[in-house]
Structure 1
Amino acid sequence: MSDKTPTKPRTVTVAKAKGRPMLTWVGKKPLARLTAYPAQAIERFDAPTPAGVGPGSSSARWAGWPAGLPQAGLLYHGDNKDVLAHLLATGFRGQVKLIYIDPPFDSGADYVRKVQLRGAKGTVKIDGEDYTLGEQIQYSDIWANDNYLQFMYERLLMLRELLAEDGAIYLHCDPSRNSYLRLLMDEVFGPDQFVNELVWQRVSAHNDSARFGTIHDTIYYYGPAERVWNSQKIELGEKYLEQFFDQVEPGTGKRYARGDLMASGLRNGETGKPWRGINPAERGNHWKVGVSTLDQWDKEGRIHWPKSNGVPRLKRYLEDAVQQGGVAQDIWTDIRPIHNQSQELLGYPTQKPEALLERVIASSSNPGDIVLDCFIGSGTTATVAQRLGRRWIGCDINKGALQTTAKRVQALMREQAAALAAQTQSSLLAADDGGPEAAPGPAQLSFATYRVNDYDLQIQHNEAVELACQHLGVARTRTDSFFDGTQGGRLVKIVPFNHPLTPLDLEAVRTELAARPSEERDVLVVSLGLQHDARAWVEAYNRNRPINKLHLIELRTDRKFGGFIRHEPLWAAATVQRQGERLVVEIQDVVSPTILQRLNLEQGVFRAQISDWRAVVDTVLIDPQHDGQVFNVALADVPERKQDLVQGRYELPAPPAGSTVALKIIDMLGEELVLQWPLP
């Protein structure tokens, strides 16, 4: 293990922001020092390839890679603040060539991933009616403005430390917060690092009432003058061609557009000379080419002479433009969003199309460069980086995002491994060592998943809050940064379920009420448990108080509402047998109480029944030689389409006697179950 790989918490430093202007908000503070926690390896995937086939580990591209980490893609589960600190402590400071982030926009809406159970035509039959969709809260971006700015400020400071000297960062945002984020980017990276404000037209029209339709996102692109840059060609649209190629050449009938022959600024030499009675210096300009070249172009008929005494222009023929294409500018109208029938669609409302990430990654990185996305979401950045031959690092606090990303990358790596196996060794090496213009081979055919701190409880909290609100009849308030909703004329505050209610939680409620002097409603505080002194604190607080009284519901023991939060884990029946040289793993049944509970809530008086257990299973993974720590995926059953079901019976080479066979089952809501069997 390298000394750079932390095995216990360490302190890392972060330099101050020096850019101007500087945005101010309540609670703003620099991020000078922070604790870097160690990471625990939890899963490893290696695409199956014949011996000697693959990108190889001795390539110079891995020279600066931390010795304690596998030469593979890296996927981290945890708060990205903790993950970025870990990366700084591990040896990635100044190593990342390209960062793309698509953070929550603070738009005042929950981000909900639609989860469709598996089955014929995308539906699962249950008693009473057809059920097609369940919903799982992935994360909520409802933050007070000051908290949101501090959240982004801290992460941008850390990302700057990870960025290489010639690296670039792209920040994707929408109109709700882009002005604030532009100022933050100027402050952290410096206004001299600003390269582009890119406008991506997401949809062609939007029926907004009483205003112009909002149909675009903004992407801020920052980087130094000396940075990687590969210009991107685009196909010219019919509307563009009709608008600009509006001239017809007499005699040939060719359509052409008129291009400038002059550029601003005075020059000496050939490009500064007068030509055909026209002196460019009188206009403060110079010719783009020498006068001898202008003579040649005019002889070839490539100069457009206006009827009046104007400046000549260069003919740009339509046929050449169609063949060569155009160069991408700062307004992107040629990349379509993911529509309902797209094969890319994974149910994430903020999912971005692969074509968008392909333009970003191809423009600002080369094969073998490190690409980082610390809001990985549905995994588009990692998937495109893998396809384009880049090394990649991704992280997310949400386990569902990690599972979705892992499935996409696994499928792509298997395809790439199969393609490489079909090539000769010489052609493989040529593809792997090609420059930016060559078709890049994969930089790696494996990836490892790590956990930085344990965030399972925080992920379950969002789901539990949603269910608790349904159970208690709470009307959710999406625009309030503190209270979760209202019930019967009372405000409702749901305390995070990963700890019992404490006086500190109650002090936070009192502080919030003090900041709202006109608020007269009582407050219902909901928790999973109570610390012994919490109830006494409430009794003392409520004494002689006519308004803003506090009421408690403790979900474990309350006589009326108690017993609701009883998490029944995923359950499965399966067998493992050795049959000669083969290992046979067979699943007989899987029950997901969480999915059944969600279905029962949606169905009302009807009770949900699922006739085929495979409808609730998203993924099946097998590790035939599990070491008790890292799950090494030897077999992955990930159906390509939602209407397809997992197989349920699997055969693979038998491991040595004494091995432990591990089976991991992931349901459609992302809950995992690992079963293990020792082989005699």
Structure 2
Amino acid sequence: MTENTKQPKDVTITKAKGRPMLTWVGKKPLARVRAYPAQPIERFDATSGQPAALHAADWSDWPQDLPQGGLLYHGDNKDVLAHLLANGFRGKVKLIYIDPPFDSGADYVRKVQLRGAKGTVKIDGEDYTLGEQVQYSDIWANDNYLQFMYERLLMLRELLSEDGALYLHCDWNKAHHLRCVIEEVFGQDGFKNEIVWQRVAARSDSVTYNHVHDVIMFCTKGADFVWNQLHHKFNEEYLEVKYARTDATGRRYRLDNITSPNPRPKMMYEWMGHAPPEKGWRYERATMQRLHDEGRIWYPDSKQKRPQLIRYLDESDGVPLRSIWTDINPVNSQADERSEYPTQKPVTLLERLIETSTNPGDLVLDGFIGSGTTAVAAQRLGRRWIGCDINKGAIQTTAKRIQELMRAQAATATAPQQVDLVEGGNTPQRPSQLGFATYRVNDYDLHIQHNEAVELACQHLGVARTRTDAFFDGTQGGRLVKIVPFNHPLTPLDLEAVRDELKTRPSEERDVMVVCLGWQLDARAWVDAYNRNRPVNKLHVVELRTDRKLGGIIKHEPLAVQASARREGDQLVVEVQDVVSPTIMQRLNLEQGVFRAQITDWRAVVDCILIDPAYNGQVFHVALVDVPERKQDLVAGRYELPAPPAGSTVAVKIIDMLGEELVVTLPV
């Protein structure tokens, strides 16, 4: 039985037993969850299929039907976590970091611009950019946010090893609620620390005390957990006061007490003419002699003063990490690691957490991978990693960053001491893997990003968006509107979700418009049975391609690509001659109300190009990646690589600036 034909199965989840127990509207335990199969989509190997000698991790406990490397999952993280539990990862994850939505009430967007000089396109002689694209909406109705986090924390606990740790990144808005949920799931003893990370010095949008920090909650599953003590560097003020002295060689040092803090009768001896202190010396006579011979004891001019121990600055690790971090800067507009993804966190922040709570080869999981910072930090530090996100843009951003990092690591793998130079790292580590695979769980895929599709549907149907409702997308003509993700036809599961949501709103009497692209036969029967003899909350399904009144309005046109592939001796030459993005053109026209947008160079709309010279029709094996280094740079368009066997199919994946992809297959 192949991976794609495996049937879903239920995964049991242990009940939370901790205290205190927070109560909210709609709270319900998560006793079991349905686990869906995952479909392999893409694989990348930076070592051309010869990675074994470069890998340092122990893969003996790895599921046999998964490739030994990083795992990147596209889908709802609840589905992904269930899939991981059902496929051998229960109790295997050493560190979990999550940076979930903060319930901030805001839309998070990334700025999108075309490639080329200033990222512009000429419209009627004027410069114009694509503006912003919604990546996700952090807007929740009632207590849905707490239920959302509760369910995921229960599942994450199941994946965590007994000596593992979980870090939850949030802000002041929900930190108090989330701490209660964490203590219910992990128990009071499981909560270890609240780390305060100062992100900025000041904010201009605050009307009270400035909120300049985030909170990172640290909890563990068991009492015996991994802990590698890290240190802060001494600040200059401290150094000037404490390490003001230098010896003849210029080494800075400070003086430390050499007397015992507690009474020690056996340490009451005279030393170098100095009477013993009231409680005795700190060290026995033999140790004192050794320190004296090494020149590590400072003697005062007066016998009335005590000798002191010399501690050199270059032998000190610094100050053990404290719970307030002010030494890590956020990712600003000038940062080299900036990926234009909203809420991106700095690599140094994740490196500190990973170094503290894992050892090389351990497994790290991020359930909200976002821009991929956790995977980048884990990869740099020689840890294995798994990441997932429901946002396709997050998967694409992470994949590009990891591909670039792995290629650089592969180039320096024969000299591990140089790995620390990659992406500005500071700890040389042999990578645990130099390849990764991308999977889709529960067939979650979009030709265009869901938020983009919702905006288009709402414009055409006259839907007024409801930003304060986490479930329904808006209203139209006195009806609630639910837009089903366009990656699949309407199913009874989608309809049951609408019904269950309405049950939580007993006073809601409006009918519901369900918008979809295609629907299964059993979904039609479900709607008919549901609506029969129902005076309120009737369901009205609008299938955007065939509905008599509203159908035929949205017609998503995919990318149009002209490309060719040919053999020239032992080389394969792939050329992309033209790329047209109807979605980008439509956005340009809708934004400005003009219909004469012209893009003179097709490369302006292309974010990156990937090539698989021997495509098997199922999994895209990345052999070549063209990701321009700077925003103003363009893809090459012409590529040469070793020719595949005769009769192979070349696949070219084009990703435009809005994240839409198309795979073109070419026979050679």
Report the residue type matching 1:648 in the other structure: G
Q: Which residue of 1 aligns with 2:228?
A: 230
Separation in structure 1 between the aligned mates of residue 266 and residue 580 of structure 2, nearest angstrom: 80
* 1:515 is aligned to 2:507: yes
8 Å contact from structure 2 (residues 42, 619) kept in 1: yes
Distance 1:250 1:445 in 2: 46
- Give the equivalent residue in structure 1 for 2:365: 372
Shift of 1:239: 5.3
Please give the per-residue CA displacement for 1:17-57, whole angstroms capped at 9, x wherever unaligned: 2211122223322222222222221111111359688414x
SS in 2 for 1:652: strand
Mapped to 2, the partners of 1:111 and 1:313 lie a distance apart of: 61
Distance 1:650 1:193 in 2: 54
The structure 2 residue matched to 1:449, chosen from 432, 438, 445, is 438
Decide whether the 8 Å contact of 2:198 with 2:325 is kept in 1.
Answer: yes
Q: 1:643 to 1:635 in 2, by over 3 A?
A: same
Which residue of structure 1 aligns with residue 483 of structure 2? 495
Counterpart for residue 171 of structure 1 = 168
Contact 2:134–2:451 (8 Å) recurs in 1: yes
Aligned AA (1:34): V
Partner of 1:213: 210
In the other structure, the counterpart of 2:423 is none
Q: Aligned-pair distance for 1:233?
A: 3.2
Contact 2:42 2:438 in 1 (8 A): yes
Q: Does 1:13 align with 2:12?
A: yes
Q: Give 1:417 shift.
A: 0.9
Q: Secondary structure at the match of 1:527?
A: strand
Give distance in 1, aligned partners of 2:534 and 2:5: 46
Opposite residue 234 of structure 1, the aligned amino acid is H
Q: Cα offset for 1:559? A: 9.0
**In structure 2, C-alpha distance between the alignment counterparts of 1:182 and 1:322, rounded to whole Å:** 38
Cα contact 2:112–2:132 (8 A) shared by 1: yes
Q: Which residue of 2 aligns with 1:284?
A: none
Which consecutive residues of structure 2, in runs of 5 or more, have no partner in the other structure? 421-425
1:40-51 correspondence runs (5 A): 40-48=39-47
1:381 aligns with 2:365: no
1:622 aligned onto 2:611: yes
Structure 1 residue 32 corresponds to structure 2 residue 31: yes
The corresponding residue for 1:185 is 182
Paired amino acid for 1:40: Q
User: Is contact 1:303–1:314 with CA below 8 Å preserved after alignment?
Assistant: no
- Tell me which moved more, 355-364 or 153-162: 153-162
Match in the other structure for 1:320: 313
Q: Per the alignment, do residues 550 and 453 of structure 1 end up closer, same or farther by CA in structure 2, a change over 3 Å counting?
A: closer
Residue 676 (structure 1) aligned with residue 665 (structure 2): yes
2:352 corresponds in structure 1 to 359
Alignment of 1:194-213 (within 5 A): 194-213=191-210
Structure 1 contact 97–164 (Cα < 8 Å) conserved: yes
Counterpart code for 2:192:
V
Q: Who is 1:565 aligned against?
A: 554
Deviations 1:622-673 (A, max 9, x none): 1111111111111111112211111111111111111111111111112111
Report the Cα offset of residue 511 of structure 1. 5.8
Counterpart residue number, 1:152: 149
Deviation at 1:575, TM superposition (A): 0.8
Q: Give 1:340 deviation, angstroms.
A: 0.9
- Per-residue CA shift, 1:206-244, capped at 9, x if unaligned? 1244310101111111124422222223333345556xx
Distance, in Å, in 2 between the alignment partners of 1:406 and 1:89 is 25
User: Which residue identity does 1:605 align to in structure 2?
Assistant: V
TM-score (norm 1): 0.82
> What is the aligned partner in structure 1 of residue 585 from structure 2?
596
1:573-628 per-residue CA deviation (whole Å, 9 max, x = no partner) reads 11111122111111110011111111112122353221111111112111111111
CA–CA distance in 1 between the matches of 2:120 and 2:252?
53
Distance change (3 Å), C-alpha of 1:241 and 1:379: same
Using the alignment, how far apart are the partners of 2:104 and 2:444 within structure 1?
A: 24
Whether the 8 Å contact between 1:134 and 1:599 is mirrored in structure 2 is no
Q: Do the aligned partners of residues 290 and 85 (structure 1) sit closer, same or farther apart at CA in structure 2, a change above 3 Å counting?
A: same
Look up the match of 1:434. Answer: none
Does the residue aligned with 2:412 lie in a helix, a strand or coil? helix
- Secondary structure of the structure 1 residue equivalent to 2:577: strand
Higher alpha-carbon deviation: 215-224 or 557-566: 557-566
Partner of residue 74, structure 2? 77
Report whether the alignment pairs 1:644 with 2:633: yes
Question: Structure 1 pair 570/87, CA: closer, same or farther in 2 (3 Å)?
Answer: same
Q: For 2:633 and 2:550, locate their aligned partners in 1 and report how far apart those are by CA, in whole Å.
A: 39
1:663 to 631, 644, 652: 652
1:585–1:304 Cα change, 3 Å: farther
Distance 2:386 2:300 in 1: 50
Asked if the contact 2:412–2:418 (Cα under 8 Å) also holds between the matched residues in 1, the reply is no
- Corresponding residue number in structure 2 for 1:584: 573
> Matched residue of 2:585: which SS?
helix
Quick one: structure 1 residues 129 and 365, their matched pair in 2 at CA, closer, same or farther if it must change by over 3 Å? same
Aligned-CA RMSD value = 4.5
Does the Cα contact within 8 Å between 1:166 and 1:226 map onto a contact in 2?
A: yes
Write the distance in 2 (CA, Å) between the matches of 1:130 and 1:429: 43
Q: What residue in structure 2 maps to residue 100 of structure 1?
A: 97
Q: State how far apart, in whole Å, the 2-side matches of 1:347 and 1:216 are.
A: 21
Question: SS of the residue aligned with 1:135?
Answer: strand
- In 2, Cα distance between equivalents of 1:25 and 1:222: 23
Q: 1:464 to 1:259 in 2, by over 3 A?
A: farther
The 3-state SS of whatever aligns with 1:595 is helix
Give how far 1:90 is off: 1.5
Q: What SS does the aligned partner of 2:143 have?
A: helix
CA contact (8 A) 2:332 2:338 kept: yes
**How far off its partner does 1:249 sit?**
7.5
Paired residue secondary structure (1:377): coil
Segments of 5+ residues of structure 1 without an aligned counterpart are: 281-286, 432-436
Matches of 2:197 and 2:507 in 1, distance apart? 40
Letter in structure 2 aligned against 1:408: R
The structural deviation recorded for 1:441 is 0.8
Q: In the aligned structure 2, how far is the partner of 1:156 from the partner of 1:237?
A: 37
Task: Give the partner amino acid of 1:300.
Answer: W
C-alpha distance in structure 1 between counterparts of 2:5 and 2:275, whole Å: 72
